[in-house]
Structure 1
Amino acid sequence: MRRIAVLDAPSNLGLRPPTATSVPGCAKAPGALRDHGLVTRLAARDAGCVTPPRFDPGDWRPGDGVAHAEEIAWYSRRLADRIGALLDAGEFPVVLGGDCSILLGSALAANRRSSDLDAGIGLVYVDGHSDFRHPGNASYVGAAAGEDLALATGRGQADLAAIENRRPYFRDSDVVVLGIRPHDEHRLDLQAAGIAYRAAPQLRAEGAARSAQWARGVLSGCVGYWVHVDVDVLDPAVMPAVDAPDPGGIAYTELELLLAGLVATPHCLGVEITVFDPDYDPTGAFAADVVETLVAGLAPAATVAPLDWAALAASATPLPAPVEPLAPRMPMEPLAPLVPVVPALAGGAGPGSTVAGPGSTVAGPEPIMEPEADAEPEAVVELEAAGPDVVDESDVVHEAEAEAVAGSDGGSAEPDEGNARPGDGSAGSDDEDERRQLGSLAPRVPLDRMSFSDMMDADRAALARRRDGAIPLRRRGGAPQPADAEAQGAADMVERDAPDADRPPATDPARPFAGLAEQVRAAGSGQVPIARTPVEPPAMPAAPAPPPAETA
C-alpha cells in the first residue's frame, strides 16, 4: 500500500500583496494545518518543506509580465525535484501550499514523468475560479496564481509556461476543471480550448462522488493524473479564509466525497492544497475544518498500491508529437450572431442547434463541456416573468431582453431612452425597426448571454428543486457556530437569505455523509452504484383541537 507523504510548499509568490505594507498569508497555511494534527491523523510521513524565495514584488506595474516570474520558475524546479523523488519512492505526495502558483512545480514533475513514460498524465483542477487568464484573453497578466491553469497548459510567457523547454505541461484534452462558478469570466475560453469542466451548480446537482467518477472517465486515456485543490472551491459561508471568496461554492462534505473518489485509485499521483489563508482565521476554526475534510477525503489514498512505473514505461503508448510553438489563444467572440428562428425540419435539428421552443430551433454553439455519452441533468430555472411555469435551461432568456422581444408584438416593452420612434433616424429607432421586421421570429437569447444575476437565479432554482437531497452547508462540528449564521441548519448556500423551513434535517447533523468513503471506493471499482439515501420528511404536527363551544 502507498504511504502518504506531506510536503510543505509555502509559496505566496503568485499573489498580489493584500495591502502596500503586507504580504499574502497563505504561506502560513502548512503550519496552521500541521498544528491541527494533519500529518499525524493521516498517518503520513513528514516529507519536509521546500522553502520559497522572499516575497518582494518591487516596483512591478501592469504590463511588466508575471510578477516574481524568475523566482517562481526557480521554485517550481525545486518543488518538481522533491515531488519526483516522492513518486519514485512509491509514496503519495500531499503538497500543502501556498498559493496556486505551486501548480507549476507539480505540473513540471508530472511532465517529466510523462516524457519518461512517453504517455499522458492528466490534471484534475478543483477550484472556484478557472485561473485561465493569459495574454490572449486579458489586457495584461501579473499574478501567477490567477494564471496557473493557463500557464500549465502552455499559454503565457515562456519563462513560466515552458520551464525546461517543456510546453505544455498538460494537454488541454488531459485537463478536467471542477467547481468553478457559472459566471467565471474565462469559462468560454475553457470551452473553446476543449477543456472539460463542470461548474459548481452542476457538480452539486450530479453529486460529488459521481463527478469524481466522471473526471476519472475523462482522463481514462492517461496513465495517471494530479489533483489540484484550491479551498476557495468551498462556499465562503463555510470557508471565508481565502484571498478571493466567491459565493456559490460547494460544501465540506462534497469536497470530502470528491477527494475520496479521486484518490481511491493508483492512477492518482498526488494532491496539492492551496490558498487557505490563516490570517483570516484567527481562531483556527477553519483550519480544523480543512483538516477534518482532508483526513476523511484522503484516507482512500493509502488503501491502494502505487503504480508500477517500470511496467508502465514498457507498455505505454507513444504520445502524438506536440504542436510547437503553442501561441496564446486570441480573445474569442462569446457567441455567434443571433439569427431568426426557423421551423424545425422533418429530420430534426442538427448537432449545431439547440431547441428554443416547440417547433422551432435556433443556431447555437457546438456542445462542449463534457466528453461523455450520458446527458447531464439540465438546470431548472424559474423565470420571474413566467409565474409558476418552469422551463429548461436551454430556454432561459435574459429577462430584460425577453421583455424587449415580447414588446415588439404586444407593445409592452419600455420605449428607448429619449422616446425614439421607428423611422426617426435615431439609434433606438434602428433597434425598434429591426424588432418589428423580425416580428414573432425574434430569437431567444442563448444561455451564454445570461447575466450574472440570471445565472445565480438559475442556480437557486436548480438547487431548490433538489432541496430534499441537498447537502447542507455547515461547519464540520455539529451545531453551527455564531459566526456561521448564514450557514445555520440545513439551509442551502444560495438560499441562506430565505431558508426552507420545511427542509428535513440530515441524518447526522455533524457528518451527514460519514461512512460513505467505502461506498465511494467500491463505486470506483464498479461494485456498487453511488446513490443518496432518501431522507424521510419530518412528520407534520397535528392540527390543534377546535375550542369548545360556548354554552349559553
Structure 2
Amino acid sequence: MKPLIIIESPSNLGLKESAQGKEPGVSRLPQHLKKHGLYDKLNPAQIIHLAAPPYSSQLDEASGVLNAYKIVEYAKAQAQELKRVLATDSFPVVIGGDCSILIGNALALKELGNYGLMYLDGHTDFVLPSMSQTGGAAGMDLAIVTGHGHHKLTNIHQLEPYFEEENVWCIGNRYWDPEYVGLIQSSQIEYVPLSHLREMGIDTLLSLFFMHIEAKKWDGFWIHLDVDVLDHKVMPAVDSPQQGGMSYDELRELLIPLMAHPKVAGIQLTILDPTLDPYGIYAQRLIDNLVKILSPIFREVKDHDEIMRF
C-alpha cells in the first residue's frame, strides 16, 4: 500500500499576464480543489505546500522565457520535495499551477532513475522560445524537459535531458498548426493527437504503452494531466480554450488502467483557473472524476484495511 500525498505546487510563473497587470489565476488551484472537496475525498496521508515565488512577467533575454530564473529556483525546490516523498514509497498527487511545474518533477525523476512520461494535454507544449508568442514556459515545458531550449532551463544540475524523447508519450493534442506540430513529429516522442487516439482506440494505446514500459525497463512513469485536454464544453476554465477535446469517459478509460499499473510513480494536475470557475462548477465535476481515476489506489488501501482486520 502506498500512502497518497498531495503536493501543492501553485506556480503561475509559466504563463503571461491574463490581462494588463493581472497575474494568472492558476496559482489558486490547490485551494480551489480543497474548498470543493477533493482533499476530503482523497483523505491524503499528508499535504505539502511548496510556496512559489511571487508572480512577475519578466522576460529573461538569455533564454527567451518569462521568469526563467524563478522557474529554475522553484524547480530545484520541487525536485527536492518530490524526491523526499518518493523515498517514503508514497504516491504523490502534485497540484499546480501551470505546466511549468513539470520541470521540477522531471528533474527529480531524472535524479532517481530511468523514468517515462505520459503527457496528456490539449497542446504539445513542444515548442522553442523562438516559436512562442508569449515566452511562457507553460507552453514549452515538454520541449524543456526533453532538452530543447536554453540550457538555463534544460540542463539544471547538468542533467539534460530530464526525459529521453523515446520515453515520452504525448497524447491528446488538438492544435493542428503545421509549424506547431512539425517539431514534435520530427522528434522521437510517441506523439498521438486526439484524432489518432480515437482512430486507434484507448485499449490499443494502453497495450502499446505497457509493452513499451517493459521493453525500455523503466523504473517508473509520471503522468502529466493538463485539464485543457478535456472538451472545452466540460472544462472551459483554462487559459487557452479551444474547440473539442476528450470526454470524461475517455479520460477515465485512459487513466484508470494507468493508475493500476505497478510502475506509476505519480501524477500532476495543471491549468484549471479558479477565477474562471468562481462557483466551482467545473472543479466539482473534475473532482468527481479524479476520485474515480485514483480508485485503484483507494482499492489498494481498502484491500489492505480488510486484510489488517483479520
Do Structure 1 and Structure 2 share a fold, with TM-score over 0.5?
yes
1:269 counterpart = 2:262:
no
Q: Aligned equivalents of 2:175 and 2:66: distance in 1?
A: 28
The answer for the alignment partner of 1:235 in structure 2 is 231
Q: Deviations over 1:444-470 (max 9, x none)?
A: xxxxxxxxxxxxxxxxxxxxxxxxxxx
**Structure 1: distance between partners of 2:66 and 2:148:** 16
Describe the SS at the equivalent of 2:23: coil
Aligned partner of residue 66 in structure 2, secondary structure? coil
Contact 1:9/1:97 (8 A) holds in 2: yes
Alignment of 1:423-434 (within 5 A): none
Give 1:304 deviation, angstroms: 5.5
User: C-alpha distance in 2, partners of 1:243/1:254?
Assistant: 22
**Residue in 1 that maps onto 2:195:** 201
Which whole-Å deviations, capped at 9, do the CAs of 1:373-400 have from their partners, x for residues lacking one? xxxxxxxxxxxxxxxxxxxxxxxxxxxx
Question: 1:211 — aligned with what?
Answer: 205
The separation in 2 between residues aligned to 1:102 and 1:209, in whole angstroms, is: 29
| More displaced 10-residue stretch of structure 1: 139-148 or 187-196 | 139-148
Q: What letter corresponds to residue 21 of structure 1 in structure 2? A: G
Residues 224, 139 of structure 1: alpha-carbon distance in 2 compared, 3 angstrom cutoff: closer
**CA, structure 1 residues 197+303, in 2 after alignment: closer, same or farther (shift >3 Å)?**
farther
Letter in 1 for 2:243: P
Change beyond 3 A, Cα 1:304–1:164: farther
Q: Aligned partners of 1:133, 1:187: CA distance in 2, in Å?
A: 9
Q: Name 2:160's counterpart in structure 1.
A: 167
- Give the RMSD, CA atoms, in angstroms: 2.0
Q: Measured at CA, do residues 213 and 39 of structure 1 come closer, stay the same or move farther in structure 2, by a change above 3 Å?
A: farther
Counterpart pick for 1:121 among 98, 103, 115: 115
Could you tell me which residue of structure 2 aligns to residue 65 of structure 1?
A: 64
**1:49 and 1:82, CA in 2 relative to 1: closer, same or farther beyond 3 A?**
same
- Counterpart residue identity of residue 17, structure 2: P
2:186 partner amino acid: A
1:253-300 CA-to-partner distances (Å, cap 9, x unmatched) read 211221112111120100000001011112210000110111001111
Pairing of 1:247-286 with structure 2 (within 5 A): 247-286=243-282
* Structure 1 equivalent of residue 307 of structure 2: none
| Counterpart contact for 2:132–2:139, Cα < 8 Å | no
1:86 alignment counterpart: 85
Letter paired with 1:266:
P
Which of 176, 182, 186 pairs up with 1:188? 182
Q: 1:245 aligns with which of 236, 241, 247?
A: 241
Aligned counterpart, 1:294: 290
Deviation sequence 1:411-461 (CA, Å, 0-9, x none): xxxxxxxxxxxxxxxxxxxxxxxxxxxxxxxxxxxxxxxxxxxxxxxxxxx
- Letter aligned with residue 179 of structure 1: G
CA contact (8 A) 2:166 2:189 kept: yes
Q: Say if 2:40 is the partner of 1:44.
A: no
* Cα shift at 1:48: 1.7
Q: Which runs of 5+ in 2 are unaligned?
A: 302-310
Which runs of structure 2 are paired with 1:442-453 in the superposition (5 Å)?
none
Shift of 1:34: 1.0
Match of 1:158 in 2: 151
| Distance change >3 Å, CA 107–CA 172, structure 1 → 2 | same
Which of 151, 171, 183 in structure 2 is aligned with 1:178?
171
Aligned 8 A contact 1:229 1:273 in 2: yes
- Greater RCO (CA < 8 Å, at least 6 residues apart): 2
Letter in 1 for 2:95: L
Offset at 1:2? Answer: 1.3
> Any residues of structure 2 matched to 1:95-110 within 5 Å, and which?
95-110=94-109
* Alignment correspondent of 1:9: 9
Residue 44 of structure 1 deviates from its aligned partner by 1.9
Whole-Å separation in 1 of the counterparts to 2:44 and 2:206: 24
In structure 2, what residue type is equivalent to 1:224? G
Shift in Å at residue 223 of structure 1? 2.0
Which sits farther off after the overlay, 102-111 or 36-45? 36-45
Distance 1:281 1:199, change over 3 A: same
Secondary structure at 2:169 match in 1: strand
- Number of aligned residues: 298
Are residues 38 and 86 of structure 1, via their aligned partners in 2, closer, same or farther at CA, if it must alter by over 3 Å?
A: same
Q: How far apart are residue 63 of structure 1 and its match?
A: 7.8
Q: Which has the higher Rg, Structure 1 or Structure 2?
A: 1
Q: Determine the C-alpha separation between the residues in 2 that align with 1:153 and 1:64.
A: 16
In the TM superposition, what are the counterparts of 1:341-380 in structure 2 within 5 Å?
A: none
Distance 1:162 1:215 in 2: 27
Whether contact under 8 Å (2:122, 2:175) holds in the other structure is: no
2:60–2:68 contact (8 Å) kept in structure 1: no
Instruction: Map residues 432-443 of structure 1 onto 2, 5 A cutoff.
Output: none
Distance 1:128 1:62, change over 3 A: farther
Compared with structure 1, are the counterparts of its residues 134 and 296 closer, same or farther at alpha carbon in structure 2 (3 Å cutoff)? Answer: same
Q: Which segments of structure 1 move beyond 6 Å, counting only runs of 4 or more?
A: 61-64
Shift of residue 82, structure 1, vs aligned partner: 1.0
Q: CA 1:304 to 1:268, structure 2 compared with 1: closer, same or farther past 3 Å?
A: farther
Q: Once the 2 structures are TM-superposed, how far is the Cα of residue 207 of structure 1 from its aligned partner?
A: 3.6
Structure 1 residues 327-342: aligned runs within 5 Å: none
Cα gap change, 1:3/1:182 in structure 2, threshold over 3 Å: closer, same or farther?
same
1:248 to 1:192, Cα distance in 2 relative to 1, 3 A? same
| 1:194 Cα deviation after fit | 1.5
Note the C-alpha offset of 1:134. 1.1
* Matched-pair contact (CA < 8 Å) for 1:209–1:261: no
CA displacement, residues 489-508 of structure 1 (integer Å, 9 cap, x when unaligned): xxxxxxxxxxxxxxxxxxxx
Contact 2:123 2:175 in 1 (8 A): no
SS at match of 1:244: coil
Tell me the amino acid that sits aligned with residue 107 of structure 1: A
TM-score (norm 2): 0.90
- Distance in 2, matches of 1:156 and 1:64, equals 7
Q: Secondary structure at the match of 1:19?
A: coil
2:53 is aligned to 53
Q: Which moved more, 1:41-50 or 1:1-10?
A: 41-50
